[in-house]
Structure 1
Amino acid sequence: MSDQRDVQAEQENAAVEENVETVEVNDAQEAEAPMDETAQRIYELETALSEAQATVKEQQDSVLRARADMENARRRADAEVEKARKFALERFAGELLPVVDNLERAIEMTDKDNEAVKSLLEGVEMTHKSFLSTIEKFGLVLIDPQGEAFDPELHQAMSMQESADHAPNTVMAVMQKGYQINGRLLRPAMVMVSRAPSGGVDTQA
């Protein structure tokens, strides 16, 4: 009888221990479940954040490219406008040069000792001076190289002449003055250039 009670007690203790282990396993599983959900949620949020950061970076790059394209387009437009302005100014200035030439010829050919035309000559000289002053404000520069060394970039040699009074390749006479506008040659000066009296032709001219 005593042995039967002992067996029954052992069975009851084993059942209790099994119930305790089952409860512990369930508690552990319930504890792990929220941790798994939290980790999954963190992973999802991190993934979404990475995607959002990549999208922002891509949009920033797009904005920078668009800004660079816009700046390049603006610079090209400014350059085209400036080019068109300079071309129009050069063409206009080129059309005015014959007027300057005619005024200079009138001054040169007028008899300065003739009192009858003295006042007329003064008027022409004033007109010529005022005209040059006006066009110089727009970048026009006179090229009058009398006595200077010949420069093929600015001068056009119409003839060469032997001279003992001038160094070789010196401008002896200016047949027509030249002009530059905004640093660009508008018309070369037409000149006569000296050469050595030995009869040798100086190839630099």
Structure 2
Amino acid sequence: MAEEQDKNPIEDEAQLEPEAPEEAVESNEELSLEAQLEAAKQEAADAKEQALRAAAEAQNARRRAEKDAENAKKFALEKFAGDMLTVVDNLDRALSSADRSNDDLKPMLEGVDLTLKGLTDALAKHNVEAVDPTGEPFNPEYHQAMAMVPSPDAEPNTVIEVMQKGYTLNGRLLRAAMVVVAKAP
């Protein structure tokens, strides 16, 4: 029995020692697996966020490109329309300075008038609109003040005369109207 008692503690110790490292290994493996699982979850979340950001960026780029293309289409005539405004001004001046009482000039004046009307209609067809602010409050975004004149009849800071019409293209200012503004007497 003494031998058995001597063997049992050794066998018991031998039995305990292998189990402890196995449990430790098992517990380390579980921690390692849990850590790997957490790392994989975090990596998946990061990848999902990157994919969402990339999709949003692509959508924003597409919208910007569409808006740029629309603006290019809308304002492609800007330079040409600006050049045509001097023709409109010259025809307007020709009509305003002509002697309408002279019967010999009536056919020519009718032709100039029809030419002016055709040109303004063509510009209007392409969304070029005249800005004639007579009687409106002065707006520095659309008007260029050439002079301020004391006027007892008009409200201060009101346009009383248009020296040159302004024009817009699709709502964007093409040329500011040159105006005379009323001031308090």
Pair in the same fold by TM > 0.5:
yes
**Identity %, equivalent residues:** 38
Q: Does residue 44 of structure 2 align to residue 56 of structure 1? A: yes
Deviations 1:23-50 (A, max 9, x none): 4444444544543332232233223323
The code of the aligned residue for 2:126 comes to I
Corresponding residue number in structure 1 for 2:100: 111
Between the aligned partners of 2:5 and 2:151, the Cα distance in structure 1 is 133
Residues 106 and 127 of structure 1, relative CA distance in 2, 3 Å threshold: farther
Point out where structure 2 has 5 or more consecutive residues left out of the alignment. Answer: none
Written as runs of structure 1 = structure 2, the 5 A alignment for 1:50-199 is 50-63=38-51, 66-67=54-55, 70=58, 88-108=76-96, 109=98, 111=100, 114=103, 116-117=107-108, 120=111, 123-124=114-115, 126-136=117-127, 140-161=128-149, 163-195=151-183
Q: Does residue 5 of structure 2 align to residue 17 of structure 1? A: yes
Between the aligned partners of 2:3 and 2:155, the Cα distance in structure 1 is 130
Deviations 1:65-115 (A, max 9, x none): 555655665566667666766765433331221122234335444738856
Between the aligned partners of 1:130 and 1:146, the Cα distance in structure 2 is 21
Point out where structure 1 has 5 or more consecutive residues left out of the alignment. Answer: 1-12, 201-205
Which of the numbers 39, 59, 65 marks the counterpart of 2:27? 39
User: How does the TM-score come out when normalised to structure 2?
Assistant: 0.65
Q: Which structure would you say has the larger RCO, counting Cα contacts within 8 Å and 6 or more residues apart?
A: 2
Between the aligned partners of 2:176 and 2:121, the Cα distance in structure 1 is 23
TM-superposed deviation, 1:187: 1.7
Aligned residue-pair number: 182
